[in-house]
Structure 1
């Protein structure tokens, strides 16, 4: 098991089958840089549009279609002391009548204080002079190449992952992705210093990061992204409308409970019906994201 330090010189706005930037072995760790769109000039991006530039793809030896790639998020360290967000609230989260009174879009800068572990508006607005939420780094967009030689925009998400903007994709979490091409071809980027549920202003606090992740290949098949923290397991559905994303996440959780915890459909329904929690990853992008989450204290492996 080795640790690789990779400095990208090229970024991608689609997750697909580009030539690998680095080949790594099962069990290896990668430390690499990611950037937000404001940190690039046009020559550094592989395509003309600029949503969520990705670092990668990383080819993981031994990963084959039908396998699962797990990605443990070891560390997310902001690499500059500022980030940015947009306002006001996105059109997708407002009543139609409220859209008429919606102010123009405005970008603002936030100061990121790594030592204090907090973020703060660089120019406070009235009523938020003392507002300083905690620094809570997360990965907004990451995943593996989709099936069929496709390339999916990093503005959206699907079974391969992508722009899910789910707050639990944070340090200490292990993310699982279904492998559809040899080597998995893993991409990551879109780091947020902080973000509320839903990404309801269309951004988190976007900034550049140094990210450290560790790869493992599992010889098992999953259909949708999964994740595990110290306290919970969760499954992720990406689709639009929102109820379809919820259906994908719920069905994937039912499968997981059967595969690893020995629960048939009826037993899984008893458990899920009482203790499941649903989290909204994003309701801004073309595909919405819903996570189906269960606390580990309710689970016993056979």
Structure 2
């Protein structure tokens, strides 16, 4: 197994079947530096316009349709002392009668302390003068080429992954994507220093990172929607609009996982999920919403 330092010479605002920028073997590790969601690098140089420029695609030898690509997020190291967010919640997350009362949203900047691993507003807001957040790095947008040769905007998401903005997709997490194209064609970008559930202001704290991932092929492990796990939980992700459809996708994928890997039939899985499931909102801002169906590993025993 080899470690590759991947320095892109171009970036993409779509995830799709594009010429590979790098070929790697099954099990190789990739270290790469990302741009922020607006296309600025660690030196605050604009390299491409937004939304969410991606590094890639990375061709993983041996990956074929019907397989799964296993992505282990090993480390995320911030590479810049600034980040940005929008200043006001999106109109679609409040009652319609309250939309006109929202201030105009603008771009605001945050100072990132890379030693203390904290972030705070560069210009303090009344009532939040001491507001300091611990960093909780996550990858906002990543995935593999969609089926049918499609190239889909990094503004949205689907079965292939994409702009899911789920806060558990950070260091220590493992994620599986369904392979639909030879080589999987993996893309990565749009990293956040911090983000609450829902990405309700339309951003996390958008900044740049050095990200290390390990890419492995799981042959004939056919899945439909992304799956993941942390030290404590397993989760499945559905991306769609309306929100109930995203929840349905995530729940169906969890039922399939509990059956194939944990030996639970639909009745047993229903009893389990009915009492212990947790649903997390990944985002309710993008064209497709993201829901995660999450179960604590303490309730599970693999076959």
TM-score of Structure 1 vs Structure 2, range by shorter chain? over 0.9
Instruction: Provide, for residues 153-188 of structure 1, a one-character-per-residue CA deviation record: whole Å limited to 9, x for no partner.
Output: 000000000000000000000010000000000000
- Structure 2 regions of 5+ residues with no counterpart? none
**Secondary structure of the equivalent of 1:184?**
coil
After TM superposition, the structure 1 stretch with the greater mean CA deviation from structure 2, 2-11 or 254-263, is 2-11
Paired residue for 1:50?
A: 50
Q: CA offset at residue 247 of structure 1?
A: 0.2
Q: Which runs of 4+ in 1 moved over 6 A?
A: 40-43
**In 2, Cα distance between equivalents of 1:189 and 1:241:** 25
Q: CA deviation at 1:38?
A: 4.6
Would you say 1:292 and 2:296 are equivalent positions?
no
> 1:86-97 to 2 correspondence within 5 Å?
86-97=86-97
RMSD of aligned residue pairs (Cα, Å): 1.3
1:207-251: CA deviation from partner (whole Å, max 9, x where unpaired): 111110001100110000000111100000000000000000000
Deviations 1:227-284 (A, max 9, x none): 0111100000000000000000000000000000000000000000010000000000
Deviation of 1:19 after TM superposition, in Å, equals 0.7
Counterpart in the other structure of 1:9? 9
SS of residue in 2 equivalent to 1:100: helix
**Is the 1:29–1:215 Cα contact (8 Å) retained in structure 2?**
yes
Instruction: Show the counterpart of 1:260.
Output: 261
5+ residue gaps, structure 1, are none
Partner of 1:278: 279
SS in 1 for 2:69: strand
Rounded to whole Å, the distance in 1 between the matches of 2:186 and 2:229 is: 18
For 1:50 and 1:194, the matched residues in 2 are separated by: 19
- CA distance in 2 between counterparts of 1:103 and 1:162 reads 30
Contact kept in structure 2, 1:155 and 1:285, CA below 8 Å: yes
**How many angstroms does 1:102 deviate by?**
1.1
Check conservation: 1:17, 1:150, Cα contact below 8 A. yes
**Number of equivalences:** 299
Contact in 2 for aligned 1:114/1:135 (Cα 8 Å): no
1:125 aligns with 2:125: yes
- C-alpha spacing 1:150/1:129, structure 2 compared with 1 (3 Å): same
Pairing of 1:1-302 with structure 2 (within 5 A): 1-36=1-36, 37-39=38-40, 44-45=47-48, 50-219=50-219, 220-302=221-303
